[in-house]
Amino acid sequence: MKMETRVFPDLDALSRGALEEMLRAMQDAIKQRGRFAVALAGGRTPAKLYTLWAHAENYGVRTPWDRVHLFWSDERYVPHDDPVSNYRMTRETLIEHVAIPADNVHAMPTDSPDPAKAAEAYEAELRSFFGAGAPAFDLQLLGLGVEGHTASLFPGSPALEEKKRWVAAVEVPAKSPRRLTLTPVVLNEGRNTFFLVSGADKREILAALRSEPSSQASQYPAGRIQPAGRTLWFLDEAAGG
Ligand code: 6PG
């Protein structure tokens, strides 16, 4: 597949590069639609970006937090204060440092005994947010797992074939197996998609993705996310140099 990549010397530089592009996408979205809707990723790589965003005023850019809406592309089905919660990571790196209204923080619910019910509730929240329009995030941040997973869409997952539902409750072959994830129905609508990929352990999967013919559906979940909007791959040297 074709990838538009930006390669940076290290995670710090990658995060600064991604922040710059993100702030540009934010300004465009607010100018055009009056708000900036972002789907956030978990993982080690984006945490740095969230910290930088929280302090972006230091770089002379003011984020109008009342116009920003935070959503998540996936979540571990654990309480929000659990150490492995994606929400918790974002709260600690970003949310508690900025003046974002509580109503603009759309965490995936994880308190129902039935994850399928939570997936339905989150889909209802997305449907009310996007109204009659397509579920097109202004920006979706995604990670890449060594076996090609993105969000909590793992190889072979039935959620990859989903044609209707926007959010799925899944069991994945990784730590915290119970997860909620956005499905490709949503992720293939994104106006901007940034994959954030760092570390030498990602070299092999990046090479495999790059060498796949664009004419065929990818065998990797990350390669199945190909929205018509802009997709950029932010890589550090270790992963993609
Ligand atoms: C998980 C991981 C995963 C992560 C990617 C990339 O599913 O358990 O947290 O979703 O985002 O594996 O991870 P890093 O950015 O930490 O390399």
Q: What is the pLDDT of residues 188-234, one digit of tens each?
A: 999 999 999 999 999 999 999 999 998 899 999 999 999 999 999 99
- H or E segment at 238? helix 237-240
Kindly list the distances between the CA atom of residue 29 and the CA atoms of 32, 64, 128, 137, 185, in Å, as whole numbers in the listed order: 5, 12, 19, 10, 21
Using most ligand atoms within 8 A of CB, pick from 140, 149, 170 the residue to mutate for ligand 1. Answer: 149
pLDDT < 50: residue spans in the chain: none
| pLDDT score, position 9 | 98
Q: What is the pLDDT of residue 138?
A: 98
- Who lines ligand 1 at CB under 6 A? 41-45, 143-145, 174-175, 199
Atom of ligand 1 nearest to the CA of 152: 7
Measured between alpha carbons, how far is 178 from 195 in angstroms, rounded to an integer? 23
Which two tokens mark 203?
Answer: 């070299």
Amino acid, res. 109: P
- CA dist 232 and 88 (Å) reads 26
Question: What ligand 1 atom has the least distance to the C-alpha of 46?
Answer: 15
**Cα 89 to middle of ligand 1, angstroms:** 13
Cβ atoms of residues 95 and 40 within 8 Å: no
Q: Where are the beta strands (DSSP E) in 41-136?
A: 68-72, 74-76
Substitution site in 14, 15, 45, 152 for ligand 1 pocket (most atoms within 8 Å of beta carbon): 45
Report the residue among 85, 144, 179, 201 best suited for mutation to probe ligand 1: largest number of ligand atoms under 8 A from its CB: 144
Side chain identity at 50, as an amino acid letter? Y
Query: Cα(235)–Cα(200) distance, rounded to whole angstroms?
Result: 10
Would you state the pLDDT for residue 36? 98
Phi, psi of 183, rounded to the nearest 5 degrees: -100, 170
pLDDT of residue 76: 98
| Residue 42 alpha carbon to ligand 1 centre in Å | 6
* 3-state DSSP assignment of residue 101: coil
Helix (H, G, I), strand (E, B) or coil at 150: strand
Phi/psi of residue 232, nearest 5 degrees = -120, 140
| Residue having the nearest C-alpha atom to atom 7 of ligand 1 | 152
Give the distance (Å) from ligand 1 centre to CA of residue 28: 29
User: 225 phi and psi, to 5 degrees?
Assistant: -100, 100
- pLDDT at position 14, please? 98
Cα separation, 8 vs 241, whole angstroms: 8
Q: CA-CA distances (angstroms) from residue 106 to 120, 163, 214?
A: 14, 23, 34
